[in-house]
Amino acid sequence: MSVNDAWKGRRFRTDEYKRYQNNLLWLLPKIKLPPPPYELYFKFGFSSKLSDWDNPIKPTQDILSNKYGFNDKLIRRAVVETEIVPKGKEYIEFEFKTLENKQDERDQ
């Protein structure tokens, strides 16, 4: 089931999300993406032990897509790690790699 199928009606971005988006867009470095399809590595440093590992993925992925000008449907694999850090030391790490096509490897 997709996120879109899970909710009725339109969803609207909160003011908190808009601030997060604006801050992240300014903080993200300029990078050159490798060729798609992508494998995306995320590491999130949470200050709350109650944080769910998957909550920040979609908003952060959408912001990366906006910043770097790619369609997130090109992400074919993702690896996500989390760790608990002191309050005020929260962070996000990410890395894009080209996902090697297993079929191409078998054909060689």
Residues 6-23 have pLDDT tens digits of: 677 677 889 999 999 999
- Residue recorded with tokens 């079929």: 103
> Residue 21's pLDDT is what?
95
Cα separation, 31 vs 19, whole angstroms: 22
For residue 31, name the pLDDT band (cuts at 50, 70, 90): very high
Question: 101: pLDDT confidence band, cut at 50, 70 and 90?
Answer: confident
pLDDT over 70 (residue 106)? no
Task: Tell me the chain's radius of gyration from C-alpha atoms.
Answer: 16
Domains and CATH numbers, the chain: 10-107 (3.30.1330)
pLDDT of 3: 64
- Tell me the pTM: 0.84
Average per-residue pLDDT for the chain: 90
CA distances from 71 to 19, 62, 64, 79 (A): 22, 9, 10, 18
Cα 50 to chain centroid distance, Å, stands at 20
